């Protein structure tokens, strides 16, 4: 800690960083769902 932020500011920053990390989790989940979606389309065509 360099003393640039107060304890209250650190709490706020941690809250924002936590919310930002959830956007990465949501994007990763969306990517997985997209892969599953296109995989099912591909396998349906092969039948």
**One pLDDT digit (tens) per residue for the chain, 47 residues:** 578 999 999 999 999 999 999 999 999 999 999 999 999 999 998 76
| Residues 7, 15 contacting (CB under 8 angstroms) | no
Q: Domain range for residue 28? A: 1-47
4-41 in b/e form (b: 16+ CB < 10 A) is eeeeeeeeeeeeeeeeeeeeeeeeeeeeeeeeeeeeee
pTM of the model: 0.68
CA atoms within 13 A on the CB side of 29: 6
Structural domains counted in the chain: 1
């Amino acid at each position: 800690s360099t003393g640039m932020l107060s304890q209250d500011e650190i709490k706020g920053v941690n809250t924002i960083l936590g919310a930002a990390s959830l956007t990465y989790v949501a994007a990763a989940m969306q990517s997985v769902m997209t892969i599953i979606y296109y995989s099912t389309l591909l396998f349906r065509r092969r039948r």
